[in-house]
Amino acid sequence: MDLNSITILLLAFAMGLFHALDADHVMAVTAIASKNFRMQKVINLCLKWSLGHGIVLFGAGSAILIFGLNISSAVSEYAEKAVALFLIVIGAWILKDLYKKRVHIHFHQHNGLASHAHWHSKDDNAQHSHGNDNHRHEHKSVMVGMLHGLAGLAPLLAILPVTSQPLWLAVVYLFIFCSGIFLSMIIFGGVLGKFVSRLQQYSSYSVNLLRWFIGVASISLGLFWLQ
């Protein structure tokens, strides 16, 4: 492998790292994870998103390159619209979930001492089984990752080094690019989970404020993408 090929593959890895942090990618994963911000859960959802993204980018991309197929730009356009609609729907779901909980301040006394306040929500004392929710969220992550892959497949193939370079380099380029996305998403999931964990220790109300912001931002970004 010559120096030019190594440079191209290093560039692919760097581009994958930054591509994973596109606004719509970060917003979609964060919105899906907002139901349960435990670090392990967030990282798992990021991995699932990366899996869906990689299946389309590497799998479909390699097949297109090897067999000389073409992909219509309309496919990417429809996928972008689907992602935008998803962002709007999940943002609305977050706001609806927050409204159902209706976090409020509850003042009370202990043993006749001075009253003090606690933040409460309607389901603070409820016990839930999250098994089915976890599976649904994981499936959402994979599907949204695949939609993002479809949205970015045509633009990515357009810049692949296939005109003056061997086909194998383009396929390896796709793999390295997806590896960069995978690593970047793991790091993002760990940072997000750690941040929200610290925030939760400080105030559960702050987490709900964060969820409210995520819901509004998700809807706003989705509407922007539909234009």
| pLDDT (tens digit per residue) in 158-214 | 777 655 678 888 899 999 999 999 999 999 999 999 998 888 887 778 888 899 999
What residues make up the domain containing 176? 37-102+132-226
Using CA atoms, how far apart are residues 188 and 202, in angstroms rounded to an integer?
Answer: 21
Using CA atoms, how far apart are residues 83 and 18, in angstroms rounded to an integer?
Answer: 19
Q: Is residue 18 part of a domain?
A: no
Using CA atoms, how far apart are residues 176 and 222, in angstroms rounded to an integer?
Answer: 29
Torsion angle of the four alpha carbons 44, 45, 48, 54, in this order, in degrees rounded to the nearest 10: -110
Q: Which of 99, 127, 90 is nearest to 208 (CA)?
A: 99
Judge whether 62 and 172 are in contact, CB under 8 Å: no
Q: Is residue 160 part of a domain?
A: yes
Name the domain count of the chain. Answer: 1
Q: pTM (2 decimals)? A: 0.81
Instruction: Note the pLDDT tens digit of each residue in 23-80.
Output: 999 999 999 888 778 888 899 999 999 999 999 999 998 998 888 887 777 888 888 8
Q: Is residue 75 part of a domain?
A: yes
Q: Is residue 59 part of a domain?
A: yes
Rg over CA atoms, the chain: 21
Q: Is residue 182 part of a domain?
A: yes
Q: Is residue 31 part of a domain?
A: no
Q: Is residue 111 part of a domain?
A: no
Half-sphere exposure of 108 (CA within 13 A, CB side): 7
Q: Is residue 216 part of a domain?
A: yes
